[in-house]
Structure 1
């Protein structure tokens, strides 16, 4: 396996070999259940589908309930497919974090960032603003400034950086080092921050 599904627990810090205090994120990774195995013969590509987290059967559709029953497991909250995986696992097998990662490995964390709502250009796009309240400026410190030309082209070009909904998107953080693992508790500590709130779903892969 080259990946696993988990849940963000929160942040903490540990001391490394040099005695430096390093910030890290605690993730409860797995155990995950193999709910589907795809091969070149059946699906024209290789992949393994993993499921994580419990969910009530009444909240699932009949199709999904049947899908999980075929794998011999209870309904799950999250389902993720890891492509280009050789089928070394069978339907219904359990994947734990120590089967995927070891201390010192480099991983990629994928999650949904915190939603910020409607934000202005200073927070959303790091605009500097006017930063000068003199010379007749009134309430313009965080304004976007000019957004278009005059009679030509007489429009605002698409993609103009303006205020709008910020956050709440899929974010990948690369080159995160696995600092410490607690396989008996399904916990993994990765260096730095991971996108999403506490309790948010995180996908870890190599």
Structure 2
């Protein structure tokens, strides 16, 4: 259970440290986020913050969501996410959460939705080697080969690596370090790659413990 922030993946670049070594970084436009609601143990049976991020027209929200923002007295937000925390003391509805909650060198976990690559075969999706390219191999160059058992148990087991939709999945990359913070522009420079396309929503969480 740890606090975090919502943001948009801007893209990748590189910066240089004091020794002139290039460091690949991903730029994330993180926040500012608004506290929309507080989850308390006496009501919801758990403790969490509900953060909102991104501008949206009220007409694009359904009536229940419009009621949530109206009762909270905050501007409508495009995305809402819960962050489980140990205690909500010190937080209040309408409070702003920005990149100042992080420090340079801090280790974080980043969650996003990976790029969708459509329907893919086993060579692209799972790294299969494919069949032989010659010596009588007909129409078997990129196929997966046999996938089932014999008369017993007579079915394909769950989890078998087969062709199918590739990407467009929730992915979390752990133990990434923050290289630099631009508080004026609400930017986090995170070492390494994070999931998702440009302008894709990501969640940056502080490392537990």
SS at match of 1:123: helix
Asked if 1:73 is matched to 2:69, the reply is no
Do residues 89 (structure 1) and 91 (structure 2) align? yes
1:200 corresponds in structure 2 to: 200
1:115 aligns to what SS in structure 2?
A: coil
Contact residue 48 and residue 85 of structure 1 kept, 8 A: no
2:159 — aligned with what? 159
For 1:174 and 1:191, locate their aligned partners in 2 and report how far apart those are by CA, in whole Å: 11
**Corresponding position: 1:13 with 2:11:** no
2:179/2:191 contact within 8 Å kept = yes
Match of 1:42 in 2: 43
How far has the Cα of 1:105 moved from its partner? 0.4
Distance in 1 separating the partners of 2:63 and 2:7? 25
Separation in structure 1 between the aligned mates of residue 72 and residue 186 of structure 2, nearest angstrom: 22
In 1, distance between residues paired with 2:157 and 2:36? 46
Matched residue of 2:184: which SS?
Answer: helix
Segment of structure 1 superposing worse, 142-151 or 76-85: 142-151
When the two structures are superposed, what TM-score results if normalisation uses the length of structure 1? 0.94
Unaligned runs of 5+ in 1: none
RMSD, aligned CA: 1.3
Q: CA deviation at 1:180?
A: 0.6
Alpha-carbon distance between aligned partners in 2 of 1:152 and 1:110, rounded to the nearest angstrom: 41
**SS in structure 2 at match of 1:134:** coil
Residue pairs, 1:135-174, within 5 angstroms: 135-174=135-174
Match of 2:30? 29
* Native 8 Å contact 2:66 2:76 kept in 1: yes
Structure 1 residue 27, shift from structure 2 partner: 0.3
* Equivalent residues, number: 204
Give the conservation status (yes or no) of the 8 Å contact 1:34–1:71.
no
- Deviation of 1:181 after TM superposition, in Å, equals 0.6
Contact 2:12 2:27 in 1 (8 A): yes
Structure 2 length normalisation: TM-score? 0.93
